[in-house]
Chains A and B, each alone.
Chain A
Amino acid sequence: MKNLLYKEFRLVINPLFFLITLLGALVLIPQWAYFVAPMYLLFIAVPNIIVTAKTQKDNEFTVLLPVRKSDAVRARVLAIALLQVVQIFVIAIFAMLNIILYHTRNFLIDPNVAYIGCVFAMYGIFNVVFFPMLYKTAYKVGVPLIVAMIFTFAFAAGIEFLVVDVPVAAYILDGISRDALIGQIPVLVCGIAVFILLTWISIRKSSERYGRVDL
């Protein structure tokens, strides 16, 4: 797996894609829909990585190496999941800066600890929808991306709705006070757990489907 991940970052995923994670700085925009910031990675980096792999005949090349088809899927999903984690790390830094600099509540969800947990869950939802659909063919990226983005937007919109309209949810998810931030740690832990679980399901389902694809 180490070699396959090395191959992903050396031959398929251009280092430029890591620069896209700097769009996490958008979290510094005051009074904004902060779920938009992590989405740039999904609709810019992810399809470009898949299309780059396709044009470079990466799928065909990889299966000739001493690896299983399922290993190739796992490496691709894990490489993108790693980019997602880097993106969240960058967002977390700018979210911290946002709170320190402005110390003002946002109309929608605040860029707080619960928000970071929700971004983890959002990426998990994207992964569990996108990759299994993609690996039905391993090259048709359009429809899987649209469907996965619809689910991703729906999740983000749902969280924003809860924060604005449901006081109990707002109590759990919103707020930037020290006590609120500490109280949100379980949401972060749950978000990470959802991310790991959904990404694992995504890998299993995608591997199964890729096994049936004729290269």
Chain B
Amino acid sequence: MELLRIDNLRKRYSSFELKDVSFSLEAGYIMGFIGPNGAGKTTTLKCMLGLVKLDGGKVQMFGHDFFQNELAYKQLIGVHFGGVDFYPKTQIKTITDVVSRFYENWDNTVYKSYVQRFNLDENKRLSELSGGMKIKYSLALALSHHAKLLILDEPTSGLDPVARNDLLTLFQETIESGEASILFSTHITSDLENCADFITYIENGRIIASCEKDELIASYRLVKGTSAQLPDVKTRLISEKTHAFGFTGLIHTNDLIDSDTVTVEEPSLDDIMIFHAKKENRHEESAL
């Protein structure tokens, strides 16, 4: 079952524009929403949830128009937005008391299990928690009402490696039943190497790719060669970096030809992001 479908989402600001953002997510999967800072990840999530007024496009959740029955679908989703800075001087047990009242399926046993797992002290005020602990608290709130779709903005940034690993394990556990899905945005692509099934990659407000992670990686190749080899492939490269010994560049796998003599390697998600960003920068510079 398709839990989330975004069609041609559009939002124009004076200096930035989301251009026909479309992707979808089936039940039982984790989708990483990646892109460099300012690419439009948070804006897309805000548009999806109605925090920002759309200029166009459709948001479907659980097979229906989200905005037609916002209240019912919000009961079925868990949301975390980066920068947990709400009610800093309020004890977290007070915030929980308020939040829990809004959810029909709030499960206090589940909530308590997260409090224990994350070592949260409910008597503390939010401002007394470290950045990582704030994120854990926000996630505990998002995960305690048996949400079918988790929409998490930068949930791993600010967490130490142990906590990040624990969280990624938790994500896997959450989708194990096959009923729930997670969409999480991040610019730390190493988080996705092990846990994401799908990747949606956004760059400068435009979706570059939205597909299975392995398919995405397979569709690109990292090529390395000497300065003398560069002219042969340069026009086919998405972008490249030159250095004293030659160059490294990213190419669409389909653009490779048998006669190429360059070294071909599998790129990481970071490589794909970095070389696409370099291409965008080059376009912007040439436009100026």
- Which of A's residues lie within 8 Å of B, judged by CB? 3, 6-7, 10-11, 56-58, 60-61, 63-69, 211-215
Contacts and interface: CB of A to CB of B under 8 A. Distances in A.
A214 B53 CA distance: 6
B103 interface: yes
Contacts of A67: 71, 74, 102
A65 to B, nearest CB: 5
Given A10-B94, A10-B97, A65-B74, 14 more contacts: A3-B102, A6-B98, A6-B101, A11-B94, A60-B86, A61-B87, A63-B50, A63-B51, A64-B51, A65-B99, A65-B102, A212-B53, A214-B53, A215-B46
B95 interface: yes
A11 B49 CA distance: 23
Nearest to A71: B71
Nearest to A7: B98
Contacts of A68: 70-71
Contacts, number: 60
B102 A66 contact: yes
A63 B71 CA distance: 11
B193 interface: no
Contacts of A64: 49, 51, 79, 81
Interface in B68-122: 70-71, 74-75, 79, 81, 85-88, 90, 94-95, 97-99, 101-103
A57 B103 contact: no
A160 to B, nearest CB: 42
Nearest to B142: A64
A60 B102 contact: no
B208 interface: no
A49 B101 CA distance: 22
A56 B50 CA distance: 20
A192 B99 CA distance: 34
5 contacts: A3-B98, A7-B101, A56-B86, A60-B81, A63-B51
B86 A66 contact: no
Given A212-B53, A215-B46, A215-B51, A66 B97 contact: no
Interface residues of B, number: 25
B52 interface: yes
Interface of B: 46, 49-53, 70-71, 74-75, 79, 81, 85-88, 90, 94-95, 97-99, 101-103
A66 B81 contact: no
> Which among B75, B81, B86 has the highest number of chain A CB atoms within 10 Å?
B86
A32 to B, nearest CB: 38
By Cβ-Cβ distance, the 6 closest A-B pairs, closest first, are A66-B74, A61-B86, A215-B51, A214-B52, A57-B86, A3-B101
B30 to A, nearest CB: 21
Contact of A56 (B79, B87, B97): B87
A165 B129 CA distance: 62
Nearest to B100: A3
Contacts of A11: 87, 90, 94-95, 98
A58 B88 CA distance: 11
B53 A211 contact: yes
B52 A66 contact: no
Contacts of B95: 11
A133 to B, nearest CB: 19
Nearest to B102: A65
Nearest to B94: A10
Given A10-B98, A11-B94, A64-B79, A69 B85 contact: no
B75 A66 contact: yes
Contact of B50 (A61, A65, A69): A69
A78 B215 CA distance: 53
Contacts of B81: 60, 64
Contacts of A63: 49-51
B237 to A, nearest CB: 38
A67 B88 CA distance: 22
B103 A60 contact: no
A60 B95 CA distance: 14
Nearest to A214: B52
A10 B63 CA distance: 36
B279 to A, nearest CB: 29
A7 B98 CA distance: 6
A213 B46 CA distance: 12
A206 B263 CA distance: 62
Contacts of B52: 214-215
B143 to A, nearest CB: 14
A69 B75 CA distance: 15
Nearest to A215: B51
